[in-house]
Amino acid sequence: MSQFNIAWLPGDGVGVEVMEAAKICLDALKFDAAYTHGDIGWEFWCKEGEAFPQRTVDLLKQSHAAMFGAITSKPVKDAEAELVPELRGKGLVYRSPIVRMRQMFDLYTCLRPCKAYPGNPLNYQDGIDMVVFRENTEDLYAGVEFSPVPDDVKAVLKAHSKPFGHFADLPGDAFAITCKVNTKKGCERIIRAAFEYAKRFGYPKVTVIHKANVVRATEGMFLETGKRIAKEYPGIAMDDANVDAITMWMLKNPKNYGVMVATNLFGDIISDLAAQMVGGLGFGCSGNIGEKLAVFEPSHGSAPKYAGQYKVNPIATILAAKMMLDWLGETEKGTRLEKAVAAVIAEGKVRTYDMGGSATTLDMGEAIARKL
Amino acid sequence: MSQFNIAWLPGDGVGVEVMEAAKICLDALKFDAAYTHGDIGWEFWCKEGEAFPQRTVDLLKQSHAAMFGAITSKPVKDAEAELVPELRGKGLVYRSPIVRMRQMFDLYTCLRPCKAYPGNPLNYQDGIDMVVFRENTEDLYAGVEFSPVPDDVKAVLKAHSKPFGHFADLPGDAFAITCKVNTKKGCERIIRAAFEYAKRFGYPKVTVIHKANVVRATEGMFLETGKRIAKEYPGIAMDDANVDAITMWMLKNPKNYGVMVATNLFGDIISDLAAQMVGGLGFGCSGNIGEKLAVFEPSHGSAPKYAGQYKVNPIATILAAKMMLDWLGETEKGTRLEKAVAAVIAEGKVRTYDMGGSATTLDMGEAIARKL
Ligand SMILES: CC(C)[C@H](C(=O)O)[C@@H](O)C(=O)O
Ligand SMILES: CC(C)[C@H](C(=O)O)[C@@H](O)C(=O)O
């Protein structure tokens, strides 16, 4: 029997292709795993009205970890039209499977390391090594939304919030509300995860990103929690920045940043920016980590326009596999895999189109595997 | 009598200094205005418990436009401690004057042009010309927040929102809520402003930035509104991007973007990123524009650490003055002012510290004035 049960969820479009490349590397490492394919993606939405079927949920429950490719996602309105005719008009609503997975399995840490590997022609600057910790379960992602806004919601918000007076007189369909909901526990555990990581890997500080000057209740709580938890880590400095300002500082002085932590949506934004600075879509990898399960993925989407071409860069997915190995305690293999990636990048012979080369997705996977 | 009444609000810190430089230029243009100083800033918070006193509100009501420098803002908690003793403990809450001004005077368009002037050593790339339209009155800036969350708010949210069930069982002080409130009217008018601008100045498309795939009620409404309004402008294309993804695209292919439009907080973030790409804090200018009043400002803050040194780059403020001239219909003067700025940048002889030079704030103002 294999040591690890890995759920293998290629998903849609180029997700399938980059996962193949990652598999080549995991096999070359002789990673002792049993891989079980899980259905997920647009196809299952269309056929079953469920992009993340219960059988896949069950598979995840029995897995040590999962690798996930990418998923096509479309606006709610367009999604309905693509259902098989029998399923239309039943009020089925498409919700992003990855967002649901994060919430369902309480994968509260979204870890996104963004490192400028030497020799990558796409680096914004040499020496960048940013690690974004993004809260992964709440915030504007909680799904607490009103459109139209019911009368009793209006009444209760008006009773408690003076600034809401301004909106309370509008008809319910003249506006919409999305509640940004953040819990103390949610803030604490992601910030603690960031500090623990800084401690373990020797980063001198943690940067708390927020918008406490305006979004006081929730982001203020996040910042205060950061200050409180920082006291538990006397060896690690804490600084903080507004989410708007940090986009400037990141470009201006990227080497000033290492571990960064933010609430869900701000983390989503900042981690994309950071990923772009170390090569973009082909390099942004992501771990969705809970206490019992973790799901690793490239941050990019299913790129319908490239699907079937085996063209996209699988490095993001291969680095996601490295993160999985680390999380499973297979750090020796994880380190070897990262070194192989770094070696191929440094050599500069095998490059996918985004890097200015013409290697295919699988060429890249194989080149990395050969270094193992 | 002068043609225009201009409220002059230097505010705090370097706000005072950059405003002096802007005044040098406006005077050199012989702009026919009566300037009236308005009290605003940290000092008035400390002394009066009001950073934006009623007398300044009244001044704005009698003005054609205002120039605003910068304001120091501190977290709520720290603000209380800096009040004169008589005012402490009265529950006074510091709220950003600029945010209040935007709401009070319904300055719903925040216009932030970000142009890479040739010769600016800080340009990320030549040829960038992005113009961010940011909704300026609602969204997460509405101030509708709960911390702790009252029981009846919990009950009503639970009754209407399945995902809220998850939070409803928590004690009210274990979490906080900030409501992102967007109105149809608010979405419409900012998107229309963006399209009108594109039409007037010949931009081929408008990019609608959103997060409709997750933040469905509000951002979905914003995107749908964008699609609807785009139909009124057959000569102008519309595209759209998720706010996370756009940070990548902006770095990757900045010349692909011209007019961009977003809800308040996303616009805040995107406009800082765009400003950084054309030189950063010293170049980001901002117009807060309503039907009757408009307030122009540099996007930067009061930079307490530089205050008193006459060191910071006033170009952002001078470009804000150019925007004011345009808005008042003084476009000939506005154009001349912009050309003078461009000429000084192109020449490269007078540069402030951020540009690698040693010119002072006023040197820069004077150099630009000399080109007029
Ligand atoms: C696809 C989308 C729902 C997702 C998110 O917003 O979290 C993506 O942007 C990500 O960063 O993983
Ligand atoms: C100072 C702050 C309240 C303000 C904002 O968030 O709008 C600033 O960042 C801006 O962009 O004008």
pLDDT in tens, B274-327: 999 999 999 999 999 999 999 999 999 999 999 999 999 999 999 999 999 999
**Which residue among A146, A182, A224 places its CB closest to the CB of B175?**
A182
Is the domain of B171 the same as that of B198? Answer: no
What is the rounded distance in angstroms from the CA atom of residue A351 to the CA atom of residue B71? 49
What is the rounded distance in angstroms from the CA atom of residue A293 to the CA atom of residue A289? 6
Beta strand pairing call for A175-183 and A145-146: antiparallel
Count other Cβ atoms within 10 Å, centred on residue A110: 26
Which is nearest to B306 in space by CA: B12, B98, B24, B8?
Answer: B12
What is the rounded distance in angstroms from the CA atom of residue A312 to the CA atom of residue A315? 9
Is the domain of A13 the same as that of A64? Answer: yes
Helix/strand/coil for B129? strand
Measured in angstroms, how far is the CA atom of residue B166 from the centroid of ligand 1?
Answer: 21
Atom index in ligand 2 nearest the CA of residue B265 equals 6
Is the domain of B80 the same as that of B155? Answer: no
Assess if residue B74 is contained within a domain.
yes
Last residue of a domain, one of A128, A160, A178: A178
Is the domain of B170 the same as that of B191? Answer: no
Last residue of a domain, one of B257, B277, B297: B277
Contact by Cβ (8 Å): A117, A278: yes
For residue B350, what pLDDT is reported? 98
> Can you tell me the mean pLDDT for A76-102?
89
Helix/strand/coil for A269? helix
CATH code at position B188: 3.40.50.2300
**Which residue among A160, A167, A216 places its CB closest to the CB of B181?**
A167
Is the domain of B88 the same as that of B106? Answer: yes
Contact by Cβ (8 Å): A142, A108: no
For residue A144, which residues of chain B lie inside 8 Å, CB to CB?
157, 161, 163-164, 167
Is the domain of B324 the same as that of B342? Answer: yes
Q: For testing the chain B interface, which of A45, A106, A144 should be mutated: the one with the most B CBs within 10 Å?
A: A144
Last residue of a domain, one of B277, B310, B332: B277
Assess if residue A16 is contained within a domain.
yes
Is the domain of B99 the same as that of B19? Answer: yes
**What residues of chain A, 199 to 218, have a C-beta less than 8 Å from chain B?**
211-218
Indicate whether residue A214 lines ligand 2 (CB < 6 A). Answer: yes
Is the domain of A1 the same as that of A102? Answer: yes
Is the domain of B225 the same as that of B298? Answer: no
pLDDT tens digits along A95-126: 889 999 999 999 999 999 999 999 999 999 99
CATH code at position A17: 3.40.718.10
Assess if residue B118 is contained within a domain.
no
Domain count of chain B? 3
> Can you tell me the mean pLDDT for B332-350?
98
**Is B268 designated active site?**
yes
What's the domain range around B156? 145-178
> Can you tell me the mean pLDDT for B55-84?
91
Is the domain of B9 the same as that of B20? Answer: yes
Is the domain of A51 the same as that of A150? Answer: no
Size of interface A-B (CB pairs under 8 A): 230
* pLDDT bucket at B1, cuts 50 / 70 / 90: confident
Assess if residue B309 is contained within a domain.
yes
Residue A331, φ and ψ in degrees, nearest 5:
-70, -30
For residue A79, what pLDDT is reported? 87
Q: Is A1 on the interface with B (CB under 8 A)?
A: no
End-to-end Cα spacing for chain A = 24
pLDDT tens digits along A160-178: 999 999 899 999 999 999 9
For residue B72, what pLDDT is reported? 84
pTM: 0.97
B74, pLDDT greater than 80: no
CA distance A183 to chain B (A): 4
Query: Over chain A, what is the mean pLDDT?
Result: 96
Helix/strand/coil for B350? coil
Assess if residue A136 is contained within a domain.
no
Percent of chain A scored above 70 by pLDDT? 99
Assess if residue A154 is contained within a domain.
yes
Which residues make Cβ contacts (< 8 Å) with residue A113, sequence separation at least 6? A129, A130, A131, A132, A285, A319, A323
pLDDT tens digits along A126-162: 999 999 999 999 999 999 999 999 999 999 999 999 9
pLDDT tens digits along B125-162: 999 999 999 999 999 999 999 999 999 999 999 999 99
Is the domain of A63 the same as that of A157? Answer: no
Assess if residue A289 is contained within a domain.
no
Helix/strand/coil for A294? strand
For residue A204, what pLDDT is reported? 98
Q: Which residue of A has its CA nearest to B267?
A: A244
Assess if residue A287 is contained within a domain.
no
